[in-house]
Amino acid sequence: MIGLLLSIIVAVTTPSNNPVQAAPAVERRLAGTIYFTNNTPRERNTFPVELYTRDQKRLVLATVPNDGSFEFTGVKPGKYLLKLTWPQQCTLKYKIDLRKESLDKIRIVMDAACAHDNGRISNLPRN
């Protein structure tokens, strides 16, 4: 009986030949809504919403808003640049950090942000 018990303990505590696999990184979600304080443009559902690497060298994902809302799913944890374009009006660029958590309640007041941040890389507005 003691021999059997020792065999079980040795089998359970002996490391296997398989290396330990790192857990896969959890994918993130990035979502939000584009608002206007005055006269929401009819074409707002055609506005490009793009996610770039932080150095802006590679486009990661792109979409257009659906009734003013946008969403990216399956994003790898990391730092990114979110670019929203109101064609012939302005371009907004925001630093995005998805290393620790998803961001799914972003609120952009586009006409107000365009008045202050057009073309500049900014921190994401606090809502």
Q: pLDDT for 44-68, tens place per residue?
A: 999 999 999 999 999 999 999 999 9
Confidence bin at 20 (pLDDT 50/70/90): low
Q: What sign does the dihedral 7-12-15-19 (CA atoms) show?
A: positive
- The pLDDT value given to residue 51: 98
Q: Is the pLDDT of residue 10 over 60?
A: no
Q: Are 84 and 35 in contact (CB under 8 A)?
A: no
CA angle 62, 64, 67 (to 5 degrees): 150
Count of other CB atoms within 10 angstroms of residue 63: 14
Confidence bin at 112 (pLDDT 50/70/90): very high
Q: Is the pLDDT of residue 120 over 90?
A: yes
Q: What's the CATH fold of domain 24-123?
A: Immunoglobulin-like (2.60.40)
Confidence bin at 125 (pLDDT 50/70/90): confident
- The pLDDT value given to residue 8: 44
Distances (CA, A) of 74 to 77, 82, 118: 9, 15, 28
Q: Is the pLDDT of residue 7 over 90?
A: no
Confidence bin at 105 (pLDDT 50/70/90): very high
In the chain, what are the domain boundaries?
24-123
